[in-house]
Amino acid sequence: MDFSSYVENIKSKFKKEQLKTFDFIVCFDKLNLASLGSNDIEGYQVFTPEHIVKQMVEAIGEDVLDFNKTILEPTSGDGAFTTYILRKRLDTIKNDFEAESLKALSTIYSIEMDKELIIKQRNNIFTLIKLYVKENKIEVDESYFDMVKCIITTNFLWAMFNTDNKEGPLFGISVAYKMPNAEKGDLKLLDFPVWNITKENVTYHEEGVEV
């Protein structure tokens, strides 16, 4: 399937910041995850080891494999959970890999307040898909990878997750705020998009739901 027209239409609606994010998504030689063995060398962050990620995801059960169910990782680091879940979803696809893999990706959402980590995570997600296609000798249109980048751009966000609302209409509600605005005290609520992906069409819209 040629996704070029959809990619062009989506990018035409992107803000300057989103276009920059799109352009910065690249493929590594392999997954570059701290959970695979190397933690933050400064010692300020602790990353969940791979075997713990596996146990936690397995504890959730079959729901993680349902592309119609959304998954949010609110403190997602470099992508230990998101890459693991996406890989498990990709392994279930039997037919129509292009459309089904995009569906699998489009219902995974990610928030990370460390800018370097969210950039790394976007690249890990892209690397996972690129290598999966190559290793399994799956034929995809070259524009498919640009479509993947569009979804990563909108779903994997630099933001701050807050659960400490003590007054106002958001009292007791967990919300996410856009970065770098949140660092400056400008608390702009974050909206995630909802994607509609079929073999014939690809669209998305802002849901307007506070996370």
Residue range 55-66, pLDDT digits in tens? 888 888 888 999
Residue range 46-101, pLDDT digits in tens? 677 778 888 888 888 888 999 999 999 988 899 999 999 999 999 999 999 999 99
Q: What is the pLDDT of residue 198?
A: 87
Contact at 8 Å (CB) between 99 and 1?
yes
- The answer to whether residue 179 is domain-embedded is no
Enter the pTM of the model.
0.87
pLDDT band with cut points at 50, 70 and 90 for residue 180: confident
Question: Can you tell me the mean pLDDT for 184-195?
Answer: 79
- The answer to whether residue 96 is domain-embedded is yes
Q: What is the pLDDT of residue 148?
A: 98
- The answer to whether residue 11 is domain-embedded is yes
Give the chain's domain count. Answer: 1
Number of other residues whose CB lies within 10 A of the CB of residue 178: 18
Tokens of 90: 């990709």
pLDDT band with cut points at 50, 70 and 90 for residue 43: low
Tell me the CB-side half-sphere exposure of residue 51, using CA atoms within 13 A: 1
Residue 144: domain span: 4-159
- The answer to whether residue 22 is domain-embedded is yes
Top pLDDT among 169 and 185 is at 185
Q: What is the pLDDT of residue 211?
A: 35
Give the sign of the dihedral formed by CA 85, CA 2, CA 150, CA 121. positive
- The answer to whether residue 121 is domain-embedded is yes
- The answer to whether residue 19 is domain-embedded is yes
Tell me the CB-side half-sphere exposure of residue 160, using CA atoms within 13 A: 15
Question: Can you tell me the mean pLDDT for 140-164?
Answer: 90
- The answer to whether residue 165 is domain-embedded is no
DSSP per-residue codes, the chain = ---HHHHHHHHHH--HHHHHHHHT----SS---GGGT---TTSS--PPPHHHHHHHHHHH-GGGG-TTS-EEETT-TTSHHHHHHHHHHHHT--S-HHHHHHHHHHTEEEEES-HHHHHHHHHHHHHHHHHHHHHTT----THHHHHHHHHHHHHEEEEEEE----SSTTTT--EEEETTGGGGT--PBPEEEEEEE-SS-EEEEEEEEE-
Nearest to residue 111, comparing CAs of 175, 45, 172, 204?
A: 175
- The answer to whether residue 178 is domain-embedded is no
Percent of the chain at pLDDT exceeding 90: 59
